Amino acid sequence: TFQEEKKPKCVVFYGTFIDTPVLGEYRIRENTAIGVQDGMILFIEEECVDPLNVRSLYEPWEDFEIDVIDFNTDLKFFFPGFIDTHVHCSQYPNVGLFGNSTLLEWLEKYTFPMEARLDDLKIALKVYSKVIQRSIANGTTMASYYTTISPSSTKLMATLCSQFGQRALIGKVCMDSHSPDYYTETTTQSIASTREVIDFLEEELLDKKIRPVITPRFAPSCSRKLLKNLSQLANEKGGLHIQTHLSENENEIKWVKTLFPECESYTAVYGEYGLLTDKTVLAHCVHLSDQEANMIKDTKAGVSHCPISNSCLSSGECRVRWLLDQNIKVGLGTDISAGFSPSILNTSRSAHLVSRHLAMKIKGSNKEHVKLSVPECLYLATVGGARVLSMDSEISLFEVGKQFDSQLIDLNSPNSPIDVFDWQYQMNNQAEDTLYKKLPQPHYPDLLAKWFFNGDDRNTVQVWIAGKLVHSIM
Considering only residues 155, 167, 217, 241, which one is a binding residue for ligand GUN as defined by CB under 6 A?
A: 217
Q: Which is nearer to Fe ion, 89 or 210 (CB)?
A: 89
Distance between CA atoms of residues 99 and 111, nearest Å: 13
The item of ligand GUN, Fe ion, none sharing an interface with residue 217, based on CB under 5 to 8 Å by kind, is ligand GUN
d(CA 396, CA 463): 13
Task: Report the residue number whose CB is nearest to Fe ion.
Answer: 335
Binding residues for Fe ion restricted to 300-339, rule: CB under 5 A: 335
Tell me the residue number closest to ligand GUN, measured at CB: 338
Considering the complex, what minimum distance in angstroms separates the CB of residue 388 from Fe ion? 14
Q: Which amino acid is at 416?
A: S
Q: Return the residue of 20, 32, 101, 111 that touches ligand GUN, per CB under 6 A.
A: 111
Q: In this complex, which beta carbon is closest to ligand GUN, that of residue 175 or of residue 358?
A: 175
Q: Which option in ligand GUN, Fe ion, none does residue 248 bind, with CB closer than 5 to 8 A by kind?
A: ligand GUN
- Does 394 bind ligand GUN (CB under 6 A)? Our answer is no
From 20-28, 63-71, 103-111, 437-445, span contacting ligand GUN (CB under 6 A): 103-111
Cα(55)–Cα(174) distance, rounded to whole angstroms? 52
Residue closer to ligand GUN by CB (options 10, 170) is 170
Partner in contact with 111, chosen from Fe ion, ligand GUN, none, beta carbon below 5 to 8 Å by kind: ligand GUN
- Taking the complex as a whole, how short is the minimal distance between the CB of residue 101 and Fe ion, in angstroms? 14
Q: What's the burial of 435, exposed, middle or buried (CB within 10 Å: 0-12/13-18/19+)?
A: exposed
C-alpha–C-alpha distance, residues 164 and 463, integer Å: 12
Q: Is the peptide bond before 365 cis (omega within 30 degrees of 0)?
A: no
Least separation, in Å, of the C-beta of 256 and ligand GUN? Answer: 11
Residues 219-278 touching Fe ion, rule: CB under 5 A, are none
Give me the least distance between CB of 231 and ligand GUN, in Å please.
Answer: 18
246-285 residues in contact with ligand GUN (CB under 6 A) are 248
Q: Is 309 in the site for ligand GUN (CB under 6 A)?
A: yes
Considering CB distances under 5 to 8 angstroms, the limit depending on partner class, which of Fe ion, ligand GUN, none binds residue 218? ligand GUN
Counting residues that bind ligand GUN (by CB under 6 A) gives 11
Q: Is residue 292 a contact point for Fe ion (CB under 5 A)?
A: no
Q: How far is the CB of 344 from Fe ion (least distance, A)?
A: 15
**CB 209 → Fe ion: shortest distance, Å?**
22
Q: Does residue 317 interact with ligand GUN by CB under 6 A?
A: no
- Is the Cβ of residue 200 or residue 340 nearer to ligand GUN in the bound state? 340
392 part of the interface to ligand GUN, by CB under 6 A: no
String marking each residue 82-101 x if it binds ligand GUN according to CB under 6 A: ------x-------------
- Determine, following the binding rule CB under 6 A, whether residue 218 of this chain makes contact with ligand GUN: yes
**CA–CA gap between residue 28 and residue 13 (Å, rounded):** 15
| Residues 126-165 as x/- pattern, contact with ligand GUN by CB under 6 A | ----------------------------------------
- What SS3 string covers the chain? CCCCCCCCEEEEEEEEEEECCCCCCCEEEEEEEEEEECCEEEEEECCCCCHHHHHHHCHHHHHCEEEEEECCCCCEEEEECEEEEEEEHHHHHHCCCCCCCCHHHHHHHHHHHHHHHCCCHHHHHHHHHHHHHHHHHCCEEEEEEECCCCHHHHHHHHHHHHHHCCEEEEECEECCCCCCCCCCCCHHHHHHHHHHHHHHHHHHHCCCCEEEEEEECCHHHCCHHHHHHHHHHHHHCCCCEEEEEECCCHHHHHHHHHHCCCCCCHHHHHHHCCCCCCCEEEEECCCCCHHHHHHHHHHCCEEEECHHHHHHCCCCCCCHHHHHHCCCEEEECCCCCCCCCCCHHHHHHHHHHHHHHHHHHCCCCHHHHCCCCHHHHHHHHHHHHHHHCCCCCCCCCCCCCCECCEEEEECCCCCCCCCCCHHHHHHHHCCCCCCCCCCCCCCHHHHHHHHHHHCCCCCEEEEEECCEEEEECC
C-beta of 45 vs 335, nearer to Fe ion: 335
Question: Based on CB atoms, which residue is closest to ligand GUN, 215 or 416?
Answer: 215
Under the binding rule (CB under 6 A), the answer on residue 241 touching ligand GUN is no
Within 335-394, the residues that bind Fe ion by CB under 5 A are 335
Minimum distance, C-beta of residue 91 to ligand GUN, in the bound complex (Å): 6
Q: Are 442 and 424 in contact (CB under 8 A)?
A: yes
Task: List contacts with ligand GUN (CB under 6 A).
Answer: 88, 103, 107, 111, 217-218, 245, 248, 309, 335, 338
Q: Site residues (CB under 5 A) for Fe ion? A: 335
